[in-house]
Structures are given as C-alpha cells and as structure tokens.
C-alpha cells in the first residue's frame, strides 16, 4: 500500500514568488491536513480538508491557501513568499469519517522543504 | 484555545536506560485523544503511542508507555531499555475537533 506522497521534496524560491505543493494521500483516506514545521516552533497546523471541504484552518495569513480534489489529492499554495516561509511543509492523511478528529491516526508524508531566498 | 507544551527541548539517555519525556496540555474539551509521534533524522513522522482521554488506563506499546494524568493535564512518555534507533524528535499531540495541536518537540539522543 503506497504511503503519503508529497511533491516536490525540495524547492528554492525567491521572495515575492508563489509556490504550490502537492500531497497524494493513502488510497481510501479522505482527510488531508497540512502543517508547517520550523525549528523551535514545532508543527503548526495550516488546514484540514475532508471530501473537498476545508473543515478547519490554523492561524496563518491569507497567503496560505489549499484545496482538495475529488480523488482526495490536495494542494497548498503560498503566494507572495516571505523569508519566514522557509520551512518543512508536511502533509498527513487519515481515514474515517471523523477526519483528523478523535481517534484517527495521522500518516505523514516525507515533506516538502521550501527555502525562500 | 488548546495548547500543548513540551518543556524539554533536548534530552539524552544512555543505551538500555529509561527516559521520560514530559508534555502538558490545556483544553476545555472532554473527549479527545493524545498522541506521541516520533520523527527520526531525515525520516518520516510515525505514531509511537495513543491515549484516549476517557480511558484511565495508561497506554503501553512494547517499550513505550505513557503516564496520563487527566486532572493535571499531563501526558508523559516513558521509553524503557532505550535503543540507538530511538534517537529522534518526539512530538506530543492533542487531537480534538477537526484539528491536531502539536508541541514544539523534544530532541532525544540515545548514547552508545
């Protein structure tokens, strides 16, 4: 069974550019959530999608957006990149109708490491 | 708002010894789950152990066990017989309604 796949794995952008990251969940998983990981800050929740609907959003500016397609694949987009957006962006999928609430365990991808110059 | 606090940024332990990682959390919810996830160097995050808040019995998975104190909102992880492969970042996490809240992590190094 294939795991959670994130692309690209590494990318370098300059300030002001935009970036799109992709996440393919485990087959059958309908919930996809996104996290920003930086040293000292741990994992910060960005948003969660379930059956193409955003159910919750973290405290990030509107430059961060996402969407989910009918096949459960998800993308997140960051516009007008800033130096502080440099981070490892992790995607996780989970099964069950409850999405990421309750007992559902997250299965993480390897992450997309974004460097903003 | 829910918060998760890990007050130990780094820890080290000798191989075969026991180590305890601390985690406290804050929530007003009654039904929730607590987790410990492990992120080995340059590898993917994986689940270590899970605790259901309404269960008083502490969860155990082989060498890993938790001390769950619901009233104190404390959820510590004990690793017994530490192995070199336990070297990793450990994240405590709270799962409520449609979200996961993670702590800042504890970097554990197991020394040979």
Residue A3 to residue B96, Cβ atoms within 8 A: no
Q: Given this model, what pLDDT does residue A101 score?
A: 53
Chain A contact present for B28, CB below 8 A? no
- Region A4-28 average pLDDT: 96
- Name the band, by pLDDT with cuts 50, 70 and 90, for residue A102: low
- Name the band, by pLDDT with cuts 50, 70 and 90, for residue B46: very high
Scanning every residue of chain A, which has its alpha carbon at the shortest distance from the alpha carbon of B96? A101
- Region A104-113 average pLDDT: 92
Scanning every residue of chain A, which has its alpha carbon at the shortest distance from the alpha carbon of B89? A42
CB A30 within 8 Å of CB A50: yes
A55-97 residue pLDDT tens: 889 999 999 999 999 999 999 999 999 999 999 999 999 875 5
Residues within 8 A of B (CB atoms), A 48-107 only: 48, 50, 55-56, 58, 90, 92, 99-106
CB A33 within 8 Å of CB A43: no
- Region B24-30 average pLDDT: 89
Residue A100 reports pLDDT greater than 70: no
Q: Which residue do the tokens 């990251």 mark?
A: A21
Residue B44 reports pLDDT greater than 60: yes
């Amino acid at each position: 069974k294939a795991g959670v796949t994130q692309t690209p794995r590494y990318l370098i952008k300059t300030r002001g550019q935009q970036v799109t990251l992709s996440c393919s969940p485990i087959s059958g998983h309908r919930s996809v959530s996104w996290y920003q990981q930086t040293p000292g800050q741990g994992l910060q929740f960005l948003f969660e999608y379930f059956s193409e609907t955003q159910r919750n959003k973290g405290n990030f500016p509107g430059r961060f957006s996402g969407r989910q397609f009918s096949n459960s694949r998800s993308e997140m987009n960051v516009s007008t990149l800033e130096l502080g957006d440099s981070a490892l962006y992790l995607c996780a999928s989970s099964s069950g109708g409850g999405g990421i609430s309750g007992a559902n365990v997250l299965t993480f991808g390897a992450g997309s490491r974004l460097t903003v110059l | 708002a829910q918060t998760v606090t890990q007050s130990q940024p780094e820890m080290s332990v000798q191989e075969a010894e026991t180590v305890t990682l601390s985690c406290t959390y804050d929530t007003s919810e009654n039904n929730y789950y607590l987790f410990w996830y492990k992120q080995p160097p340059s590898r993917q995050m994986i689940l270590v152990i899970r605790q259901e808040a309404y269960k008083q019995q502490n969860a155990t998975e082989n060498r890993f066990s938790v001390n769950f104190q619901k009233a104190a909102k404390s959820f510590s992880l004990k690793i017994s017989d530490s192995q070199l492969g336990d070297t990793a970042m450990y994240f405590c996490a709270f799962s409520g309604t449609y979200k996961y809240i993670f702590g800042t992590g504890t970097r554990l190094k197991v020394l040979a």
